[in-house]
Structure 1
């Protein structure tokens, strides 16, 4: 068992032995190394001022991802390469993205500039990106400029980021890959003792053993949620087990039946496969957090933490996903919808952990739609998240699976509305009215800073109408809802349009 973490920086191995479980990369840089180019802004992974680049070997090539260092645990760097803004200039010459930012006046007050530089550095090294404003703005969605200087920043990106990488990092890529291979020793890591530790098992067997001994430990995958427990809630987490080195936990396996995703797979790693499973899921994925969040955060963590406003569970529940769990007592599977018991409570025992989930592929006679409603398009928490799987035979709905997030204490199916939709005709909107009424029986949403209860209910009805209209293939302007309560349904149709 190893008692240190090891990572690369500037071509050299850095070994850290004195490590507290909740030490962040940002605090290590600013307080220990006194490298203050990396800034602390929001301390919750929203503003991007703290962005650094983390490099790992993917399919035999170096891949650099932007990471929010304020919520990334220092221990998560084990086996990776760390690149910070001070590392980019070589022999007195600015890196190409730095020079472009200077030449095109992309820096104003300068506070956000290091974060933008590091995000652009990862774009500079990304493969297969098209030179377009859309590509740049999507890549920079997790970096905020308070001086509203986005135009020159985008111009700097267009000017510098889309030619073949030609810098010190690309020149020594082969050596870096070899060095990272040597660091990957497949040994379990444990820094600390029984009262407090940072652990990083290298196998499921190692995780099972240490978690059985310490079921009170906090499991961490990407830390995009747990990091906020540390920085915002000031929680003490004496025992932390990081899952990022466990072989096979990051699997993404496609089959004709569906998609198997390991609990350690990041949003970024499974985005392409998710998009092939469903274009709607692919569109949803691009609105979950930012590039930085998707590079670190995992779908398994989004599920395991049990948030009622998590973006992925409603969509996966509607598709009929099943969850895999493991403990020293053995393995088990259960429908994802049964995992959520109540607010903050999940069907998971002491020493038991999520290993992955399976998402069935929609069948040819099924229509799947999902929609996220939030105040901002990018990087915002859902007010309402709705997902719909409709099985259609002869233009009639033979089965419906509807799930919402943000409407109850847990992600929850709309059983009354589902039953009311069975037998409804897509060609006759008047047959949809009972399902719209049924949502009132299925949910009693709360009011909070994101939305009122009334807004949530009306939005849920509108999203159901939107899904039905899209499934019908009819121009919304031509639909006129008729039935026992036409005013009720018409309002929902207008909101959906």
Structure 2
């Protein structure tokens, strides 16, 4: 395990595979500014800044250190809150602009969550300044979407984020971590000289090629594979389960691909939510808007597509999307052979999939033609950010000559597995797109077809009513109606001004 912690080189191979970055900072290094709040990646008190070299430039992301194995940080620049003031002092005689702005705008009260907020804002500042991107309200809200404050409310914290650039100018802050040549040279030395010990007898293995991964998995048949670990590590932090050998697949180049091959978009299993979000922003804005509602920025920076699907959670948000596009899953055996399974056949029951013990998800194939068709994704949850779906609907309509020639209605959060409403899809097939009578008949079919579960998040009746309203919403959008949709992005003034008109439309308020 080698990485740069603040300004010190760390080289330590004595730790267990599941030793978290949070424990390492606090217990091994005495850096207690990083706090433990929830130990599940929800509150952001334990946020770390993690820098990597991308295309020759240093870019920082935020991680939840409470569920990040410290050994996964190999070759990275890990920044704790203590380093910001040291760096700020060296550069300008004061605090880092994120810290100074928080002071000036009274963004901290009890202070427990403040280090996490400061690092989230510092990452935004560093990346925006190094790339000459403006910091606006949307980018600030996105940066702190995974940080929970129970004291001040978020207004002064948002004000601080918006004022960091002005604060930096007033303090004559002249040096950025993201532009620091010493940091960059040390990280490049890792990349050029060092390599994760992927084939050793250590307990945390990091193969970098598919061939290495297969070799490692053959040698360690009982080892558990980990990518982002945003769900797996909860077994350690919540249930106190100790893992043995872990194989980290997040560095395997073949599993990180996002490629368009003729008629198909291929997504590697280890592609993170944030990477897919970046790819989708201009190409597939509706996918981008859905991704902004999944978890928090810290989780999206580590969580992967393959992990979300393989976890087989009935409330996962990506399986309905993949169902709507009839995605094929490429499964890879440790002997190197492959097989293809359609997403519709992948789930066998609650937490049960077609994955064999000697298999892993390698990639997902999605038709570019289907991606070009009308599609929408609606997530209903109690909170806008970092919340689990009560109802998730993914819709795809193929239209020819004003008629529906293909229909997909895929739901999450409704049953033990992600499901398609097959009878309801059939009821819409061949119908004229603006036939309201056909829509009403379709909704009646849905009511007779679905029997949603009831749990702490929603009752069966609520889920069914919401599902029907969301199908109506998709039909309205298909016919060109401008329907208000809340995403994880900042709302426009026109949306905010609708006020009571929105709240009276229950089916549309939560979508």
TM-score of the two chains, using structure 1 as the length reference: 0.90
| TM-superposition CA deviations, 1:186-244 (whole Å, max 9, x none) | 45436756xxx222222211211222344432211111111222112222322311112
In structure 2, what is the Cα distance between the partners aligned to 1:300 and 1:248? Answer: 13
Offset at residue 365 of structure 1 (A): 7.7
Which of the residues 316, 327, 338 maps onto 2:333? 327
> 2:403 matched to 1:388?
no
Which of the residues 39, 42, 48 maps onto 1:43? 39
Conserved? CA contact 2:397–2:404, under 8 Å: yes
| TM-superposition CA deviations, 1:101-146 (whole Å, max 9, x none) | 1222211111111001100110011235433222211211111111
Alignment match, 2:30: 34
Alignment match, 1:64: 60
Which of the residues 51, 70, 73 maps onto 1:74? 70
In structure 2, what is the Cα distance between the partners aligned to 1:265 and 1:369? Answer: 22
Which of the residues 116, 140, 149 maps onto 1:145? 149
| TM-superposition CA deviations, 1:375-432 (whole Å, max 9, x none) | 1111100011101111112221111111111111111111111111111222211112
Which of the residues 197, 214, 217 maps onto 1:211? 217
Alignment match, 2:175: 167
Conserved? CA contact 2:198–2:212, under 8 Å: no
Partner of 2:319, secondary structure, is: helix
Q: Which range moves more in the overlay, 387-396 or 252-261?
A: 252-261
Which of the residues 288, 302, 309 maps onto 1:303? 309
Q: How does 1:284-303 map to 2 (within 5 A)?
A: 284-303=290-309
Conserved? CA contact 1:129–1:135, under 8 Å: no
Alignment match, 2:362: 355
In structure 2, what is the Cα distance between the partners aligned to 1:214 and 1:171? Answer: 40
| TM-superposition CA deviations, 1:74-123 (whole Å, max 9, x none) | 11101111000011123473222112212222111111110011001100
Alignment match, 1:100: 101
Conserved? CA contact 1:19–1:191, under 8 Å: no
> 2:108 matched to 1:118?
no
Alignment match, 1:176: 183
Partner of 2:139, secondary structure, is: helix
In structure 1, what is the Cα distance between the partners aligned to 2:371 and 2:112? Answer: 51
Partner of 1:248, secondary structure, is: helix
Which of the residues 176, 188, 198 maps onto 1:189? 198
Partner of 1:70, secondary structure, is: helix
Conserved? CA contact 1:263–1:299, under 8 Å: yes
Partner of 1:189, secondary structure, is: coil
Alignment match, 1:375: 382
In structure 2, what is the Cα distance between the partners aligned to 1:474 and 1:146? Answer: 39
Conserved? CA contact 1:320–1:335, under 8 Å: yes
In structure 1, what is the Cα distance between the partners aligned to 2:371 and 2:415? Answer: 31
In structure 1, what is the Cα distance between the partners aligned to 2:265 and 2:200? Answer: 36
> 2:223 matched to 1:224?
no
Partner of 2:406, secondary structure, is: strand
Equivalent pairs counted in the alignment come to: 474
Partner of 2:102, secondary structure, is: helix
Change (3 A) 1:370 1:381: same
Alignment match, 1:265: 271
Which of the residues 232, 243, 258 maps onto 1:237? 243
Alignment match, 2:489: none
Change (3 A) 1:271 1:191: same
> 2:484 matched to 1:472?
no
> 2:80 matched to 1:84?
yes
| TM-superposition CA deviations, 1:244-294 (whole Å, max 9, x none) | 222232122245634322111111112132234422111001111111111
List alignment gaps of at least 5 residues for structure 1. 477-492
> 2:49 matched to 1:53?
yes
Which of the residues 461, 465, 472 maps onto 1:458? 465
| TM-superposition CA deviations, 1:432-483 (whole Å, max 9, x none) | 233223324543221111111111111111111111111122578xxxxxxx
CA-based RMSD: 2.3
Which of the residues 249, 262, 274 maps onto 2:280? 274
List alignment gaps of at least 5 residues for structure 2. 484-504
Conserved? CA contact 1:215–1:350, under 8 Å: no
In structure 2, what is the Cα distance between the partners aligned to 1:221 and 1:44? Answer: 16
In structure 1, what is the Cα distance between the partners aligned to 2:124 and 2:174? Answer: 13
